[in-house]
Amino acid sequence: MGKNKYDIKRGHFKNIEGGKLKELMEDVFDSIEEKGDKLISDFGAIEHLEVWTEGRTELWVDIEMEEKPDEDIAMDTISRWNDFLLKDTGFDAKKRSKRAKKKAKK
């Protein structure tokens, strides 16, 4: 999947600033490693995940997924991934998709 930028909902940054982003990642993905300003993990079908913020409005994600994961593992990973992004950005999958399409048109 590579590197992606997600908008953070206005006023939502307070929910992930400081050590809160790490706590949210630990809740969703269990184990987290810190490397500089990036949080690193792997879980299920996610082989490598790096997460960081830039400013108060952008969540950056660099992610590598397994090519052909087991179906049960893939479903659990997708569910946790969407839960993680909702908690971190304040936008559900439908809103994130709408915002990405709107930006792509510009």
Q: Let me know how long the chain is.
A: 106
Predicted confidence (pLDDT) per residue in 39-54, tens digit: 999 999 999 999 999 9
Domain 2-99 in this protein, CATH class:
alpha beta
Q: Show the low-confidence residues of the chain (pLDDT under 70).
A: 1
Which of 26-46 are b and which e, b meaning 16 or more Cβ less than 10 Å from the residue's Cβ?
A: eebbeebeeeeeebbbbbbbb
Question: What is the pLDDT of the chain when averaged over all its residues?
Answer: 92
Task: Give the residue extent of every domain in the chain.
Answer: 2-99
Beta bridge partners of 43: 46
